[in-house]
Structure 1
Amino acid sequence: MPPVPETPEDLAAALSEPADLDFQLPDPEDEEIPELEFQQQLDNAWLVCDRFDLQTEIWRGRILRVVRDREKKGGEGRGTGFLNWLKEREITKSQAYSLIQLANSADTLLEDGQLEPSAIRSFSKRAFIETSKSSPEIQQLVTDAANKGDRITRREVRQLADEWMAMSSDLLPEEVKEKAANGSVPTRYLAPLVREMEKLPESHQTALQEEIAGSPDVDTVKQLTSNARSLSKYLDAAAQVQAINQTSLDVEMALEEALRVGCLNTTADLVRQASQLEQTIAKLYTTWKRVGSLADRLYVDTGASTPNLRSLLTALERISGEVIELQLDEEGERTVRLRVLSE
């Protein structure tokens, strides 16, 4: 590890030998270069920049952590010095703590012995950030691959995460896991299904498990993922709709009937739109009350000397009064009128 420059002379010497990133990029107008080779050259250059950027960000995070911790120990305790340090370098507080978190993740992986220091070069910046946010099991899989020298991009991280989720989840029947193991059902299709099933009650999970066990293929997985997503949206939205909660409607039975007649997506969309409509009505009422209050205040504060302001109030009576009127088209052929009846 290179020493930290301690004097201006040391810093000048360090900067006199910058990192060698002088790439020989292909000529975009050279038609003799095959497209595959052209893309490969660019990809290689980009990968080097990505890795260099990652290690730079990690060290910046470590520097910021030192600045913060120094003030915690000997400063005023209010973070003023740290914030001033960020301000001078045009770094936002959120950016600073994001870098510190990245440095913390790197140090944790290194200290736990999961990751060899040289293996950090195998990561792209986004892949490392993705890994740092993953569960310990996923981190172990990724770092094992990095330690072996495999190139790690965000795509590899997600692929390993999908494989782990598919093979370890109790929600998938053994028949499906066997298909995943031999590659006939790719894990990239199974992971979304597991995520959606986790949101559902056990009764619906069981029904989906029985269906996929009977037909463990890609088409079934895709269809059940869509169904599970609609089920989840239906249940979430139904719990928020007052029009439903204020009745004795059996939400679960309505859902079963929608599944039986094949109109689950339509039903889920209807309930979701109903939830949005109620929220819109609540917002409309609040805004309407505010407009009326402001109009009343302005009426009191004005008089004959402000005829234009009075004309403004007159014009707004169409939407501030008990009856709200709005034209839906420029020709005025379609007009909606809403009457507000509040207790």
Structure 2
Amino acid sequence: MVEVAPSTVEIAEALTMPVDLEFELPDPEDEEIAEHDFQQKVDDVWKVCDRFDLQTDIWRGRILRAVRDREKFGGENRGAGFLNWLKNREISKSQAYALIQLANSADTLLAEGNLEPDAIQNFSKRAFIETAKAEPEVQKLVSEAAQNGDRITRREVKQLTDEYTAMNSDFLPDNVKEKAVDGSLPPRHLAPLVKEMEKLSDEQIDDIKKEVEANPDIDTVKKMTSTAKSLAKYIDSASQVETLRDSPIDLEMALDEAMRLDCLSITADLVKQASNLEQNVAKLYTLWKKVGSISDRLYVETGSSSPNLRSLLTCLERLTSEVIEVKLDEGGEKLVRLRVMTEE
């Protein structure tokens, strides 16, 4: 006799009176329970909840995807039906698409054969999401560990990602990779260096690579990681500062001097903050124009019959006039004045 799987309706009817999850948690005030045993029992229960949460969210994502795709296939309101469906269930759009992404990741891992369905239970929810975001090679390593019965948390995903990065990066010399294999130079220190080196020019990469090759130790790796980070920040920020773009400064020579004087970090931070300042000035100007425009509209709508509204507008002239005045503290002892002068 061929067994027929229960339908969705039958499952729903069976769950009309759902059985709540029941766990026997250890008494936190029981002094006879050893700390190790207490932590083990609590951790076991947490793993069950984590697994239940992950599998439930994957199915929620599949449901949401089906509702969304149905709307795309036959809907005439350009997604309004899907949004109403979410609204009726008090689900935000961002939450919905996060669950759909989780479901897509699960289905991709299963379809590619990197993961067996039963192995999903060995993941924590966050670890599964991190695995889905990882490179295919890392996904395979993590999936193999899960299928071997290993418990996969974000720590294991990060560890395997770091190991893969250290072993396969062209930015690291062979003697450094050998030390990563024997454990004398942990991959967790090498992965951040590789990540920062990816942002640099070939010449800068070669300089850092030579330094690490000559001194393959943790202190050098940390120092070069900091250097690479500052270099990347300087290069990225300098390209965004309009003030520097309009000047005859040789940014490459300035960078060389900063490295020679061992003040690269300070220089990079200066350029970064200069970029932030320019962006904030642009935002301030846009906001100043907007407040002035709204004030003008309100002025047209008011008159002698609304003296309080007129008083409000008069008071806010400190912010809408050519000279902006703002108190920097509650006592008013510090006052900053900014004059807005535009030039075509």
TM-score normalised by structure 1 residue count: 0.89
Q: Given that residues 5 and 14 in structure 1 are in contact (C-alpha distance below 8 angstroms), is that contact kept between their aligned partners in structure 2?
A: no
Of 126-135 and 57-66, deviating more is 57-66
Q: Does 1:321 align with 2:321?
A: yes
The secondary structure found in structure 2 opposite 1:138 is helix
TM-fit CA distance, 1:304: 4.5
TM-fit CA distance, 1:194: 0.8
Give identity over the alignment, percent: 64
Aligned to 2:28: 28
For residues 308 and 102 of structure 1, the distance between their equivalents in structure 2, rounded to whole angstroms, comes to 54
- Going from structure 1 to structure 2, the CA distance change for 1:4 and 1:197 (only over 3 Å counts) comes to farther
Aligned to 2:13: 12
Within-5 A mapping of 1:60-71: 60-71=60-71
TM-fit CA distance, 1:165: 0.7
- Going from structure 1 to structure 2, the CA distance change for 1:266 and 1:143 (only over 3 Å counts) comes to same
TM-fit CA distance, 1:281: 1.8
The secondary structure found in structure 2 opposite 1:338 is strand
For residues 100 and 338 of structure 1, the distance between their equivalents in structure 2, rounded to whole angstroms, comes to 48
Letter in 1 for 2:246: Q
For residues 297 and 90 of structure 1, the distance between their equivalents in structure 2, rounded to whole angstroms, comes to 37
For residues 39 and 33 of structure 2, the distance between their equivalents in structure 1, rounded to whole angstroms, comes to 10
For residues 63 and 300 of structure 1, the distance between their equivalents in structure 2, rounded to whole angstroms, comes to 52
For residues 242 and 35 of structure 1, the distance between their equivalents in structure 2, rounded to whole angstroms, comes to 60
Within-5 A mapping of 1:240-255: 240-255=240-255
In the comparison of the two structures, how many residue pairs are matched?
Answer: 341
The secondary structure found in structure 1 opposite 2:316 is helix
CA RMSD, 1 decimal: 2.6
Q: Does 1:312 align with 2:312?
A: yes
The secondary structure found in structure 2 opposite 1:33 is coil
Residue by residue over 1:35-79, the C-alpha shift from the partner in whole angstroms, topping out at 9 and shown as x without a partner, is 122111111110111112222222233333344444555555844
Aligned to 1:282: 282
For residues 299 and 214 of structure 2, the distance between their equivalents in structure 1, rounded to whole angstroms, comes to 71
Within-5 A mapping of 1:185-196: 185-196=185-196
For residues 190 and 140 of structure 1, the distance between their equivalents in structure 2, rounded to whole angstroms, comes to 21
The secondary structure found in structure 1 opposite 2:249 is coil
Aligned to 1:173: 173
Aligned to 2:38: 38
**Structure 1 stretches of 5 or more lacking a match?**
none
**Structure 2 stretches of 5 or more lacking a match?**
none
Aligned to 1:86: 86
The secondary structure found in structure 2 opposite 1:336 is strand
Q: Does 1:273 align with 2:273?
A: yes
Aligned to 1:133: 133
For residues 291 and 70 of structure 2, the distance between their equivalents in structure 1, rounded to whole angstroms, comes to 52
For residues 121 and 110 of structure 1, the distance between their equivalents in structure 2, rounded to whole angstroms, comes to 13
Q: Does 1:259 align with 2:253?
A: no
TM-fit CA distance, 1:33: 1.3
For residues 100 and 278 of structure 1, the distance between their equivalents in structure 2, rounded to whole angstroms, comes to 39
- Going from structure 1 to structure 2, the CA distance change for 1:321 and 1:65 (only over 3 Å counts) comes to closer
Aligned to 1:337: 337
